[in-house]
Chain A
Amino acid sequence: MIRFILNGAPVALDAAPTERLSEALRENAGLKGTKVGCDAGDCGACTVLMDGRAVCACLVPAARAEGCRIETIEAVTDTLTRLRAAFLRHGAAQCGICTPGMLMMAAELVSDTPNPTPDQARDALGGVLCRCTGYARIIAAVCDAGSDTLPVSPPRGQAVGRSVARLDGADKVAGDSFGADFAPAGALVVKAIRSPHNHADFTFGDIAKFAARPGVACVLTAADIAGRNAFGVIPAFADQPALAPSPARFRGEAVALVAFEQGTDPDTSAFPILWQPLPAQMTPHVAEAPDAVLIHANRPQNRLVEGHVRKGDAAVALAGSTHVMSGSITTAFVEHAYIEPEAGAAWMDGQTLVIRACTQAPVMDRDETAAILGLPNHRVRIIPSAVGGGFGSKLDISLQPLLGLVVLKTGRPARMTYSRAESMASTTKRHPAEMRGRIGCNALGRITGMEFDGRFDTGAYASWGPTVANRVPVHVSGPYLTPSIAASARAVHTNGPVSGAFRGFGVPQAAIWQETLYDQLADQAGLDRLQFRLINALRNGDASATGQQLQAIGIADCLQALQEPWTQALIRAERANATEPVKRHGVGIASCWYGCGNTALPNPSTIRIGITPDGKVMLHQGATDIGQGSNTVIAQIAADALGIALDQICLIGPDTALTPDAGKTSASRQTYVTGRAALAAGRSLRAKILRLANAGGGATIGFEGPDLIVREGSDRRKIDLSGLTADMFGYALSAEETYDPPTGALDADGQGKPYAVYGYGAQMVELVVDTALGTVKLIRITAAHDLGRAINPQLAQGQIEGGIAQGIGMALMEEYLPGRTENLHDYLIPTTGDVPPIESILIEVADPEGPLGAKGLGEHVLIPTAPAILNAIRHATGAVITRLPALPHRVLDAIKAVQQ
């Protein structure tokens, strides 16, 4: 027994002495607020206080707690109360997975230093990683933790446009319940056997004998899969086995499962499997060689998909151009590195398989899992847990079918939590890209034409490769009028990790190529780099590269908003450089545009709002909130549309049994698409109520117990809700509305209307390059984004700051190498000290198609950051970076190349 004081009360835990304290707290004491992100002291999510000092609980032997005071996120202290309130006021929690660690680390800081400066806060929190926020709001909250004042909810009719605190915020600052944080009693512990090789044949030994070991409940392989052992987010390309038959096509691929009884050592080291490594094709160059082996027999040249956009004659246009720049650039695999590794639990509820796990796409999960398991869709229910970051990777199923297999086989509940290494090896990545081409302009600086060729390493399976190959040519022009274009992008299979969706679907890579070339072209044309972009910015009525006539274009507004900061920054840089030969200042700029929703395909969302007979308003909100804020934004839109106060809304879902399909949280579509459905549902329900009360549009709606009160002028009408006949959902009144973006198919030349709504933005980076070391220090980023209408400015700014942080990582440090960077100390993501102050400028060019004018934002915000950084490096030093990430040695090499 290990005895200590836990959150003020004595406890005795029956834990092994060298069990990790994090495990003892979670499993033995049942306190799931302490999160486990890496089990290696790299992420700080498990930070707790031990006699007042912050420690990573994953690195502390449980026995060392003996006689100590341990405080976790479940503690109730004045310090934590004030910090929690500050986090809520500042919007410091997005997904919430790092929040407990941040709060505990901050608790140590403010007990030593009650009023820390931002620098002190950044230093103290340097050992806790956050992938969502870009840290700015966390630092601000920690420096403003003097009071326990909670944010107030807005009055009726004023929710939209307000920085409303997130509705799920209280859960986040209390230690929310993520995938690993709930399992039915007695759940089996599931472990996967994964390929240690990039490509390998394998054979099983005596599996029956292993299955008969004490503590082993069952062993499953591909042979146990009753349905279709091939999944994929795009049905026509579904190719990825839940459990692979031989051969395994990438390192980390699951080939078998072992379910262990709770409390036994889940040791798979003696699992009977014999691996025979095969030659692996690790780059598209190798995979496209004439003698390459086909990774999928039905995909010649290992080509998954090639997308094209052709308009005019780009070659002729370039030949006649005054200025032409050509260039190429290569990017790396980028890992999503959410702090929550995949986790979940599953159980049977009668004839229904229930899976509670982290996800971005519950309905897709249900359909794909059902197909693998050979069940009809209605027998699978997906309940998304709180999601500790997704960024695209949790769109694909991971452990859902694995849990389902075990539950169906044993009839018992099961749970599974990926290790950090397992999460990194087995889930999707951003596509590495090799991009080249030319862009030309006339003597006035007007773009004449563009040629682009991109090769994207799509890894072993299809995932979102087709989407990337199609989105890239559509977007590679950037938000600029490009009269003629010939753009193609192909996704090529390799034995690398599966490349899938990552915030921007290939567009960030393409923007790096286009925006860095634009910079050089502006110089060649003798034009200011911002002016050059402004000259070419799309204007209302212009046609895009796909021939779509666009409306509500905000790119010029964004660039104009940066004009004054740009001028000032250039002066500051010039002044600094006049006296400093080694540390050279530079300023860079880049733009973005991004179509919201699926490319030229339907992607409807449905929202239901019901009023119970006892007068409660239930919002069935099926858009998974992975930190971006759909729980709050959709409720804000619904509340104003219905005409009630936001705090009168009760959220239900997401849950495939309780919420209609609001589609996936991807493609920056939720605020726009689900927001439109929420707006329609709110208005529809309001119209029903007003009809019932025979009231006009100006009437107000309120509740008095089970009575609905409709007031119009001095008139007061009462509707007895309990007296109404309940509808099919059990509601006294309800409305359900669906919205699907009006898009059209693209023809063979990629011409058409792929999206109904686009968002725009531009960012400006100020930095210093140490020309002796090749290191880059960011000073300031100014970001102007046109989001149509800021439904929630604080959440929007949080998206901007978080997207920028990921853009910084992509530009300067992130490179996933299979088998080499499967942890968070070799795979680097930005820390508190790597994200400079960010000034966000919200531009609102209302789109008539968006809800109240709103456009998407979530992916846009990442796109300009990396090219703006590269452009600033070139401005500072002349160095042209052609391979990302721009690690110090690569920057120094590029500087030397200029000097020679």
Chain B
Amino acid sequence: MHTNDMARLMPDYCRPTTLTEALALRQGGSRVLAGATDHYPSAGATLAGPMVDVTRIASLQEITLQDGALRIGACTTWAALAASDLPPSLAALQQAALQIGGRQIQNCGTLAGNLCNASPAADGVPPLLVLGAEVELASPHGTRRLALEAFIIGPRQTALAADEIMTAILVPPAGLPGTSAFLKLGARAHLVISIAMVAVRLVVDHGRVAQASLAVGSCSGVARRLRRIEAALVNAPVALAPGLITSADVAAALAPIDDIRASAAYRAEAAAELLRRATAQVLA
């Protein structure tokens, strides 16, 4: 049977309690529904086509530490994430959690939803990029892990296969040291789709930057790590580090566009300034 034919036989909506059931529904052609906050804005009276609601699967809600790696259940809401006791390297992610939509959105929206929606302005992406995060994708054939950078392949495009469900976001041990910060820039205080946003994670050792991870969102089709600048920061004395982030280097690493919110030139310049500030904030 073709997937389309299968889909016609599927129930419009199921909310299973196990991943196995969910994967079976997914294989039958259901789309995955997590927080649902990105599904409804473009929808009519109801959502089109069969949906598998994965928010009742307990294992998808848990945050656990296993073998030195942090595992964040895919359906962890932003509110739950912000309220969790997490290492300081996840401070950027927790700060982002408090700036995604309003409180109502934070109560529903999930990490996995943010990643699978793959907006260039997805607030969750830069803070996860600086953690070197991976995503765990389950299918009836097993699970696979993919670096977040490999998962989001373009604006609104991901590597999620038609039979897969994202089950977790994983922060490997290498991503957990240090402290991070998140800065988001928009034309108003709340409910901001950012003009630019940055996340910075630094590990400091004896007054020098030992490890640096920097990422910028909303300034390219997909949020990017800025590896050349990261390399330039390593071994820099703390006091000098922010000054090493030059606007030219940042601009070269990004591909911003002109749109209603800002000009491309402004975006690159603002991103550099935000990176300097976030770096200074982490080092303060």
Task: Show the binding face of A for B, using Cβ within 8 Å.
Answer: 16-20, 23, 39-42, 44, 47, 50, 53-56, 58-61, 63-64, 66, 105, 108, 123-124, 126-129, 265-267, 772-775, 812-813, 815, 817, 820-821, 823, 825-826, 828-834, 885, 887-889, 892-893
Task: A50 to B108: give the CA distance in the assembly, Å.
Answer: 10
Residues on the A chain within 8 Å of B262, using CB:
887-889
Q: How far is the CA of A592 from the CA of B269 in the complex (A)?
A: 37
**Sample (26) of A-B pairs whose CB atoms are under 8 Å apart:** A17-B12, A17-B13, A39-B40, A40-B41, A41-B104, A47-B104, A53-B79, A53-B107, A54-B107, A56-B102, A56-B105, A61-B51, A123-B103, A127-B101, A127-B105, A127-B191, A265-B44, A813-B187, A813-B188, A817-B260, A826-B193, A828-B188, A831-B188, A887-B261, A888-B270, A889-B263
Q: Given contacts A127-B101, A833-B190, could you give 4 more A-B pairs where the C-beta distance is less than 8 Å?
A: A18-B13, A108-B103, A826-B260, A889-B262
Partner of B101, one of A41, A123, A267: A41
The answer on a CB contact under 8 Å between A64 and B55 is yes
B104 near A44: Cβ-Cβ < 8 Å: yes
Residues of A within 8 A of B12 (CB): 16-18
Q: Are A773 and B185 closer than 8 Å at their CB atoms?
A: yes
Choice from A39, A66, A127, A773 contacting B103 with Cβ under 8 Å: A127
Q: Given contacts A58-B40, A61-B13, A127-B103, are A775 and B185 in contact (CB under 8 A)? A: yes
- Is B138 interfacial (CB 8 A cutoff)? no
B123 CB–A CB distance under 8 Å: no
Interface residues in B227-284 by Cβ distance below 8 A to A read 260-263, 265-266, 269-270, 273-274
Nearest CB to that of B11 among chain A residues? A17
For B147, the chain A residues whose CB sits under 8 A away are: none
Residues of B within 8 A of A23 (CB): 45
Q: Compute how far the CA of A19 lies from the CA of B47 in the bound complex, rounded to whole angstroms.
A: 7
Partner of B266 from A54, A128, A774 at Cβ < 8 Å: A774
Q: A832, B37: Cβ atoms under 8 Å? A: no
The reply to whether B189 and A834 form a contact with Cβ atoms under 8 Å apart is: yes
A447 to chain B, nearest CB (A): 35
- B190 and A127 within 8 A (CB): yes
A44–B108 CA distance with the chains assembled, in angstroms: 13
In the complex, chain B residues whose CB is within 8 Å of the CB of A815: 260
**Contact assessment for B187 and A828 in the assembled complex, using a CB-CB cutoff below 8 Å:** yes
> Does chain A have a CB within 8 A of B136?
no
CB-CB under 8 A from A50, the residues of chain B are 107
Give every chain B residue within 8 A of A17 (Cβ-Cβ): 12-13, 46
Contact partner, A60, options B46, B108, B187, B260, Cβ 8 Å: B108
CA distance A17 to B39 in the complex (A): 14
Residue with the greatest number of chain B CB neighbours at <10 A, chosen from A40, A63, A127: A127
- How close is B186's CB to chain A, nearest CB, in angstroms? 8
A126 pairs with B189, CB closer than 8 A:
yes
From the candidates B13, B45, B55, B108, name the one contacting A265 in the complex (CB within 8 A).
B45
B33 contacts chain A at the CB level, 8 A cutoff:
yes
Q: With contacts A40-B41, A54-B107, A108-B103 known, is A63 near B189, CB below 8 A?
A: no
Residue pair B187, A126 in contact (C-beta under 8 Å): no
- Within the complex, the shortest CB–CB distance from B79 to chain A, in Å, comes to 7
Binding site for A on B (CB under 8 A): 12-13, 15, 33, 35-37, 39-41, 44-47, 51, 53, 55, 79, 98, 101-105, 107-108, 185, 187-191, 193, 195, 260-263, 265-266, 269-270, 273-274
A892 to chain B, nearest CB (A): 6
**Are A812 and B187 in touch, CB under 8 angstroms?**
yes
Contact of A773 among B15, B105, B273 (CB under 8 A): B273
Nearest Cβ distance between residue A843 and chain B, in whole angstroms? 31
CB–CB A42/B191 < 8 A: yes
Contact of A834 among B46, B47, B53, B188 (CB under 8 A): B188
Nearest 10 pairs between A and B by C-beta? Answer: A127-B102, A833-B189, A126-B190, A17-B13, A889-B266, A40-B41, A831-B190, A18-B47, A813-B187, A889-B262
Contact indicator B102/A55 (Cβ below 8 Å): no
The interface centre, meaning the residue of B51, B102, B191, B193 with most chain A CB atoms within 10 A of its CB, is B102
Q: Is the CB of B13 within 8 A of A63?
A: yes
Given the interface pairs A19-B46, A817-B260, A888-B195, the reply to whether A105 lies near B187 with Cβ below 8 Å is: no
Closest chain B residue, CB of each to CB of A56: B104
Q: What A residues does B265 contact at CB under 8 A?
A: 889
Interchain Cβ contacts within 8 Å, total number: 156
Q: Which residues of B have CB within 8 Å of A20? A: 40, 45-46
Bound CA–CA A58/B53 (angstroms):
17
Given A19-B45, A20-B45: A887 touches B187 (CB 8 Å cut-off):
yes
Partner of A41, one of B13, B51, B105: B105
Q: How far is the CB of A763 from chain B (nearest CB, A)?
A: 20
* Complex CA–CA separation, A24 to B163 (angstroms): 31
Give the distance in Å from the alpha carbon of A344 to the alpha carbon of B269 in the complex. 48
Interface centre among A23, A39, A812, A823 (most CB of B within 10 A): A39
A823 and B41 alpha carbons, distance in the complex (Å): 10
A55–B104 touching, CB < 8 Å: yes
State in angstroms the CA–CA spacing of A718 and B85 once bound together: 75
Known A59-B40, A815-B260, A831-B188; contact A54-B46, beta-carbon cutoff 8 A? no
- Taking the closest CB of chain A, its distance from the CB of B246, in whole angstroms, is 14
Which of B102, B104, B188 touches A830 (beta carbons < 8 Å)?
B188
B167 vs chain A, min Cβ distance (A): 20
Which among B13, B37, B190, B261 has the highest number of chain A CB atoms within 10 Å?
B190
Query: What are the residues of chain A within 8 A of B51 when measuring CB–CB?
Result: 18, 61
CB nearest to B105 among chain A residues: A41
Given contacts A61-B53, A832-B189, contact A773 B102 (CB under 8 A): no
- Chain B residues near A60: list those with CB within 8 A: 36, 108
Q: Find chain B residues with CB under 8 A from A124 CB.
A: 103
Q: Which residues of B contact A812 (CB under 8 A)?
A: 187-188
Q: How far is the CB of B172 from chain A (nearest CB, A)?
A: 32
B-chain residues with CB within 8 Å of residue A893 when the two chains form the complex = 266
Q: How far is the CA of A34 from the CA of B8 in the complex (A)?
A: 34
Neighbouring A residues of B190 by C-beta, 8 Å: 123, 126-127, 831-834
Residues on A with beta carbons closer than 8 Å to the beta carbon of B15? 63-64, 66
Which B residues are CB-close (under 8 A) to A266?
A: 45
B105 neighbours in A (Cβ, 8 Å):
41, 56, 59, 127
Tell me, in angstroms, the Cα distance from A202 to B270 when the chains sit together. 45
Chain B residues near A44: list those with CB within 8 A.
Answer: 102, 104
- Residue of A126, A820, A889 touching B102 (CB-CB under 8 A): A126
A116 CB to nearest B CB, Å: 12
- CB A240 to nearest CB in B, in angstroms, measures 28
In the complex where A47-B104, A59-B36, A105-B103 touch, is A825 in contact with B266 (Cβ < 8 A)? no
A552 to chain B, nearest CB (A): 39
Most buried by B among A53, A60, A826, A888: A888
Alpha-carbon gap, A265 to B44, bound state (A)? 9
Q: How far is the CB of B52 from chain A (nearest CB, A)?
A: 11
Task: Identify which of B36, B53, B103, B266 contacts A126 (C-beta below 8 A).
Answer: B103
